[in-house]
């Protein structure tokens, strides 16, 4: 008995190198928006038509150009001190970017360090760090940040440090959880029986393995941080 078989042409396999370039799942629109803001922030002093901090009192409360009384000189109008709103917006992007990124990185560094130590060492160290985290989480974060800012005075680096100190707790929690499962992994045990010190293990075996979790969290936390400013 003969069996008829159909010849099915397999779809051609796409070469992997090209596939990577096809940007299939790449978030193109968000990347363009962010890229645009980043470029504006970087080239602020070239792009801004006026000095953002010095205005002329003769040109106060100018409306944007599309309203009556507005002019092309002040595209988005001026504020109560006669400063150009567009220029202030452009320079504001710079501050937002710098503060957002550095604050998140600072908070991430503090939180990761404490999280790894807490999770890996365990015992009373873990208890102390986690109770501190609990207490910290109980404070209303932004309120606390404003309170601290009122004490040390408002400067950009103060804000970075304050935001870092206010927001490290979540990183510590998440990282600690990740470390708890990592430290039971066989390669960590092998490092222990090979005589590595605790610090070597934390730095060489734990930290690299939590980088992807940390990366996700940095990204998640960066967004509200940028919006707050």
Partner 1 sequence: MSNSIPSSASYEPTRQGLPVKSGPLLEIENLSTHYVSSRGTRVVRAVDQVSLRINAGETLGIVGESGSGKSTLALTILRVLPPAARIVGGRMLFEGENLVQKTDDEMRHIRGKRIAMILQDPMASLNPLFTIGDQVAEPMRVHEGVGRATAWSRARELLKSVRIPSPETRVRQYPHEMSGGMRQRIVGAIGISCEPRLLIADEPTTSLDLTIQAQYLNLLRELQRAHGLALIFITHNLGIVAKMCDQLAVMYAGRVVESGPVSRIFNTPAHPYTEALLNSIPRMSDSAKRLTAIEGQPPDLAALPAGCAFAPRCVRAFDHCRIEAPPEFAPDRRRTARCWLAASDSVPPDMLVRSGTT
Which residue's CB is nearer to partner 1, number 62 or number 205?
205
Which residue's CB is nearer to partner 1, number 147 or number 187?
187
Please give the structure tokens belonging to residue 135.
Answer: 């207490």
**Any idea which residue has 């939180």 for tokens?**
111
Interaction of residue 187 with partner 1, rule CB under 8 A: yes
Interaction of residue 8 with partner 1, rule CB under 8 A: no
Q: How far apart are CA 96 and CA 7, in angstroms?
A: 60
Q: How far apart are CA 19 and CA 31, in angstroms?
A: 19
Which residue's CB is nearer to partner 1, number 12 or number 195?
195
Q: Which of 79, 125, 209, 213 binds partner 1 (CB under 8 A)?
A: 209
Interaction of residue 190 with partner 1, rule CB under 8 A: yes
User: Candidates 71-79, 95-103, 192-200, 221-229 — which segment interacts with partner 1 by CB under 8 A?
Assistant: 192-200
Q: How far apart are CA 70 and CA 66, in angstroms?
A: 6
Q: How far apart are CA 216 and CA 163, in angstroms?
A: 19
Which residue's CB is nearer to partner 1, number 11 or number 208?
208
For residue 78, the SS3 value is: strand
User: Measured at the alpha carbon of residue 106, what is the angle toward residues 100 and 108, in degrees to the nearest 5?
Assistant: 100
Binding to partner 1 (CB under 8 A): which residues in 115-134? 122-123
Q: Which residues bind partner 1 (CB under 8 A)?
A: 122-123, 185-187, 189-197, 200, 204-205, 208-209
């Amino acid at each position: 008995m003969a069996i008829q078989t159909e010849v099915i042409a397999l779809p051609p396999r796409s070469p992997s190198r090209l596939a990577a370039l096809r940007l299939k799942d790449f978030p193109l629109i968000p990347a363009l928006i962010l890229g645009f803001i980043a470029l504006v922030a970087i080239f602020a002093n070239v792009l801004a038509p006026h000095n953002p901090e010095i205005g002329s009192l003769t040109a106060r409360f100018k409306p944007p150009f599309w309203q009556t009384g507005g002019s092309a000189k002040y595209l988005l109008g001026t504020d109560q001190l006669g400063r150009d709103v567009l220029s202030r917006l452009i320079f504001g992007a710079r501050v937002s970017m710098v503060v957002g990124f550095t604050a998140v990185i600072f908070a991430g560094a503090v939180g990761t360090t404490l999280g790894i130590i807490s999770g890996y060492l365990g015992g009373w160290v873990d208890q102390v760090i986690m109770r501190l985290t609990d207490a910290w989480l109980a404070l209303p974060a932004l309120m606390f940040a404003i309170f601290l800012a009122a004490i040390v005075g408002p400067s950009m680096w103060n804000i970075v440090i304050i935001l870092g100190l206010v927001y490290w707790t979540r990183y510590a929690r998440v990282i600690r959880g990740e470390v708890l499962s990592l430290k039971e992994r066989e390669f960590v045990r092998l490092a222990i029986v090979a005589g590595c010190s605790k610090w070597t293990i934390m730095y060489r075996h734990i930290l690299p393995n939590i980088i992807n979790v940390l990366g996700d969290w940095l990204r998640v936390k960066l967004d509200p941080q940028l919006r707050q400013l």
